[in-house]
Structure 1
Amino acid sequence: MKIATWNVNSLKVRLPHVLDWLAANQPDALCLQELKCENKAFPLAEIEATGYQAVFNGQKTYNGVAILSKKPLADVTLDIPGFADEQKRIIAGTLGGVRIVCGYFPNGQAVGSDKFAYKMAWLEALTAWLKAELAATPQLVLAGDYNVAPEDRDAHPDWKDEIHVSVPERDAFKALLGLGLTDAFRLFEQDERSFSWWDYRMMAFRRNVGLRIDHLLLSAPLAEKCSACFVDKTPRKLERPSDHAPVVVEIAS
């Protein structure tokens, strides 16, 4: 099974990139974040024309998540149950016995801000919900833009902003690992300074000044069967790209 995650930073703008990437890579499931479109504007017909199904949870201008899959998803969940939130950041579904959770984690803006407090409360609610999900479905993937670079090696040394690399954020990431999840990317030897996001400014992509903030965490049964995990930089080199690149995991059947 091949599962990918990609913050597209506007599905309307990046739809040609997404359609081309689906055709070239044929994932079983592609988790998308930052759709920036309401459900009524979701390009379902164009996606279905490629042979993919789609479930989505969108809102105007901001946020929004979707899962595209070759086969229909079962038991679809929108949002974190029991957590009051107007922002559309979570969608989950089950594919071939694997529970796929797609999340667009809050940015947090700045440590100590109201948005940072929201981020930490959101992460706490997510972790509590996933604990129950894992008890019910041992095969689980948590895919998405986490807006957290979990270790120093996941941030370019020139990164001076405290957000995304602060101790509270990294502790929250460790709490997710503490549920029994494994960072698929770190199961394999990777190049130094491997990132998934690069700012549009100051030629950051060309200079490889970035962060690794897009992750695929796997439950133990899936981690044992994981055969590859990598960042696909190809779409980041296109005209008008997302500032994120897809991250792909391959799991043996």
Structure 2
Amino acid sequence: MPMEFEKVDAYEPDRSLKGKLRRRLIRLAHRRPAKVALERPMVSFSFDDAPATACEAGARALEARGLRGTYYFAAGLTGRDGPMGRYATGEDARRLHEAGHEIACHTYSHLDCGQSSQTETLADVDRNAESLAAWGAGDPVSFAYPYGDVAAPAKTALSGRFKTLRALHHGLITDGADLNQTPAVGIEGEDGETVAKAWLDKAKARKAWLILYTHDVAGQPSQWGCTTEALERLIDRALADGFDVVTVAEGSRRIGL
């Protein structure tokens, strides 16, 4: 009998005018500026929510080239079924960690940090970090806001706790970039590969650090994922263009965090 998993429904963060204004204004507040001076451009390949396909096909694409990625786990999702397929398990996280990939922190319940209080945020993040450690996946040093959304309570609560707090707005990590709301570029949707290539070109020209993210990695991915072939082409493009391909933790170390 096939194993059944609890279904996780898709959630939409606040798309109202008020929500859009808050997302724009919070990028100007509670900043922690980076100091970046690189001799070569860097790129990190990251996977949000850790769908099983990302931990399998995504990991294989990187490992085949001697590289490693960053996986942002939300422990409360593990082993469940969701809009991007089945989510990976704690055993998958430990396997990836032992293979040299970075296991990074989301929130335990995939909490919307644009809506949560400071107390709720800290409790959910604590629970997630404790789960990752219990799996044998190490103590996380990198964090990503679920849905890329954040408000002042969460941003101030988490400031300084992690080396980087990653968001979803497009941009490069250059001198002065906000480490409390670090930009990233998604490899998702029909034009995801094209958009990512354009940002690789920008990062190369500026010798900057670019964080790319996706979710599932499959032959027929969800709207939030990419194909294995697209991921492989982007990795090969980065290598051919002289990028150092690093985990987010290693990128943080290289800029002095």
Query: Is the shorter-chain TM-score for this pair beyond 0.5, marking a shared fold?
Result: no
TM-score, normalization: structure 2?
0.38
Larger RCO of the pair (alpha carbons < 8 Å, separation 6+) = 2
Which structure carries more helix by proportion? Answer: 2
